[in-house]
Amino acid sequence: MPSGGANRGQGRKPVAEELNTRILSQTAIIAKYGSLEAGLQKLLESDRDPLVKFVFEHALGKPVDKLEAKVDGEVIHIRFRDAE
């Protein structure tokens, strides 16, 4: 059985598909609330319904997660023997 290789349906969606999802989500928000701003106001007044949050993340883009790390201490380099 070969290892690796592409699996159908796996990986990141094409950019065109992501843009289509964003446009579809924005259209749905505008149809429901009249504008993106009115929809965002409604979201802020709600109890953060997960479905509403999901739609807004797709319409406006999910915020980028930022991770900061600080490492104090000594760095130890470990070298492994090659398998023979």
Does some domain include residue 5? no
Rounded Cα distance, 46 and 76, in Å: 50
| Residues of the chain predicted below pLDDT 70 | 1-6, 82-84
Does some domain include residue 4? no
Strands (E) located in 5-83: none
Total number of domains in the chain: 1
Range of the domain at 20: 13-84
- Give the pLDDT confidence score for residue 35 in this predicted structure: 94
Does some domain include residue 82? yes
CB 55 within 8 A of CB 28: yes
Does some domain include residue 3? no
- Give the pLDDT confidence score for residue 32 in this predicted structure: 93
- Give the pLDDT confidence score for residue 53 in this predicted structure: 76
- Give the pLDDT confidence score for residue 1 in this predicted structure: 44
* DSSP code, position 76: -
Does some domain include residue 2? no
Does some domain include residue 6? no
Q: What is the pTM of this model?
A: 0.50
Does some domain include residue 1? no
Does some domain include residue 8? no
